[in-house]
């Protein structure tokens, strides 16, 4: 009798288990992005892990789900790079994201001097795709988009501080609205534009917290008006904030010494070492004099005691 009961319910249990497993499997699959990668000479498994890491961080920051299939091409020749993009691209560019195709195209660091790690480039370009999704493919200011992507991929170096300092002491910073045409800039001006983009977004995050980003994007989705969304999320009028940021940044970087200018750095470093050497010699001389005085007074003490 027990065997009959077991036999009658066992298929049902198996079917229920299989259905539940299928549902769980489907949920896991649809809750994560799928990465299809063409990358000659690279470890595909490692690249997928790097992309998944960036995906999870960006999704958390933006407060979105992103489960698309993303195609990644790491090109080992300029011909493959251009063929994958099928569009004009500035010579100084190292990578691009085509939102309409969920496509990331990167010049291979094995074959090109891109100035960034492959991991940084992956995070940056994935940031473009996911930010586009968060904005429901609406237009975003170029400085905001590039600044966000650099922020999430961790792209900041001392050379960027030097670049900003030179601009502040020289020809001045570029108005943020002019960054819409960054692809038409030369390499040096484009580098300055990207550095400014990072600082602009970073300054907002420092002042308002990282939560301001999803808040701004949510308001943008609701109103379809980027300027009112910016005002409601930050408390600043868009055009006025650009002026405020320019003044704050210029004031901050005018306090940074231009000692890092390459023409002045090494002579200044030599002078610093000479000064340190002189100070060290002076300290040794003072210590020697103190010892001599101590010995002298000790001699007086011994004479007094003997007397």
Alpha-carbon distance of 144 to 230, in angstroms, equals: 11
Which of 241, 254, 224, 249 is CA-nearest to residue 144? 241
Alpha-carbon distance of 195 to 159, in angstroms, equals: 9
Over range 270-276, report the average pLDDT.
76
- 63-122 confidence digits (pLDDT tens): 999 999 999 999 999 999 999 998 889 989 999 999 999 999 999 999 999 889 999 999
pTM: 0.74
Alpha-carbon distance of 188 to 153, in angstroms, equals: 21
Alpha-carbon distance of 53 to 46, in angstroms, equals: 11
- 257-267 confidence digits (pLDDT tens): 554 555 555 56
Quick one: how many helices (H) and strands (E) in the chain?
11, 4
Domain limits, the chain: 33-134, 140-260, 264-307
DSSP state of 180: G
Q: Which CATH number fits the domain 33-134, given the four candidates 3.30.460.10, 2.40.160.60, 3.40.50.150, 3.40.30.160?
A: 3.40.30.160
- Tokens representing 298? 């000790």
pLDDT at residue 226 in the model? 96
Alpha helix positions (H), 106-225: 118-134, 142-153, 158-169, 187-208, 212-223
Q: Is 97 helix (H, G, I), strand (E, B) or coil?
A: strand
Task: Judge whether residue 301 has pLDDT over 70.
Answer: no
- Kindly report each contact of residues 97-100 with a partner whose C-beta sits within 8 Å and lies 24 or more positions away, as own/partner: 97/125, 97/126, 97/128, 97/129, 99/128, 99/129, 99/132, 99/137
């Amino acid at each position: 009798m027990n065997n009959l009961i077991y036999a009658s319910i066992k298929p049902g249990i198996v079917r229920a288990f299989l259905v539940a497993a299928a549902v769980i499997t489907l949920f896991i699959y649809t809750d994560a992005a799928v990465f299809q990668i063409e990358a000659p000479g690279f470890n595909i498994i490692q690249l997928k892990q790097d992309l998944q890491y960036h995906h999870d961080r960006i999704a958390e920051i933006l407060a979105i789900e992103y489960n698309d299939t993303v195609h990644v091409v790491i090109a080992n020749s300029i011909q493959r790079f251009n063929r994958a993009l099928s569009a004009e691209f500035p010579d100084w560019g190292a990578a691009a994201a085509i939102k309409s195709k969920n496509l990331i195209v990167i010049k291979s660091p094995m074959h090109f001097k891109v100035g960034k790690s492959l991991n940084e480039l992956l995070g940056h370009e994935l940031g473009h795709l996911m930010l586009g999704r968060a904005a429901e493919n609406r237009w975003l200011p170029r400085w905001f988009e590039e600044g966000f992507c650099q922020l999430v991929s961790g792209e900041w170096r001392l050379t960027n501080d030097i670049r900003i300092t030179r601009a502040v002491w020289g020809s001045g910073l570029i108005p943020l609205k002019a960054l819409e045409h960054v692809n038409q800039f030369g390499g040096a001006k484009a580098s300055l534009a990207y550095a400014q983009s990072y600082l602009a977004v970073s300054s907002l995050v420092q002042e308002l917290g990282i939560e301001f980003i999803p808040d701004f994007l949510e308001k943008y989705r609701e109103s379809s008006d980027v300027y009112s969304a910016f005002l409601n999320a930050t408390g600043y009028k868009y055009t006025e904030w650009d002026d405020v940021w320019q003044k704050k940044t210029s004031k901050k970087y005018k306090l940074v010494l231009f000692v890092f200018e390459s023409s002045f750095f090494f002579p200044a470093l030599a002078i610093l070492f000479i000064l340190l050497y002189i100070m060290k010699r002076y300290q040794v001389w003072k210590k020697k004099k103190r010892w001599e005085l101590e010995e002298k007074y000790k001699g007086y003490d011994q004479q007094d005691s003997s007397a």
